[in-house]
Structure 1
Amino acid sequence: MTDQTPSERQAANSSLGELVGEVTHDMSLLMRQELELAKAELRESAKTTAKAGAMLGAGAYAGHLTVLFLSIALWWGLGSLFDNGWLGALVVAILWGIAAAILIVVGRNKIKEVQGVPQTVDTLREIPGTLKRNEENR
């Protein structure tokens, strides 16, 4: 007698339909378990991302306040230098206007560089031709 594992003995004594049924059941179970794992990982990633987003938002707000108060300090300093408060405010506003214009121009140029998903579009365009019956498949 040969040494057979329990799985080999079961396979030898089972019909093809039973074996296919078991494989189908096992695959279904595996897929459900993988989906549950993916859901759990996504939930954890979402929590971590939300916390990181909140921290980034708080940091951006703190940075905004820093820039605001530095601008006020510059306004005050220039007002003292020019002996006129409104002139200091005007200089600070012009500096911020120049910064805004530069950022807008650079941002618009970057947006124009965005190509979307050209490789995916090309691949999707090839699918209908691939599905058509050709001379080799007849």
Structure 2
Amino acid sequence: MTAPIPPTGTAGAFPPPAGVHPDAGRHASGTTGVGSPAPDVAGVPVGELVGNVTRDLSTLMRQELALAQAELKQEATKTGKAAGAFSGAALAGYFVLLFLSIAAWAGLSNVMDAGWAGLIVAAVWAVIAAVLYTTGRSKFREVHPKPERTVDTLSNVPDALKGHRGDTP
């Protein structure tokens, strides 16, 4: 559902804006201005250049937002699964208490097989609760609420806006 994100620093990453020929900005050798001191913008009005930059920045921001949404959706899914495991552990813990209570009651009142049966059921629920708790804990450790790739690419935006002049990095 998200638009493909072009690799950083590639020529032709965005389609040319309306009204600009696809070869605009190309040198006679067929290369773009990428890596050269300045692209060929002779004859292009300043307003159109500003419009192009604004349009490209808008596209970049939309793509970054789409990336952040995709990353947050993944993390929300992991969080939901971990919460489900913790819910299962809570339910299993409830049954442990319920069956331990019933077993203690039956064991004290009868001192027969009914009490031992209750203890066996409670032990099974204790194992289930431990497994679900461990699963939920490990799934929560996998959750990273900060969209790492988005933060990384957004940190590159100021450098991209500055541009490069000549041999300076």
Class of the TM-score when normalised by the shorter of the 2 chains:
0.3 to 0.5
Q: Which has the higher contact order (CA 8 A, sep 6+)?
A: 2
- Structure number with higher helix proportion: 1
- TM-score, normalised with respect to structure 1: 0.47
**Considering only CA atoms, is the larger Rg found in Structure 1 or Structure 2?**
1
The TM-score with structure 2 as length reference comes to 0.39
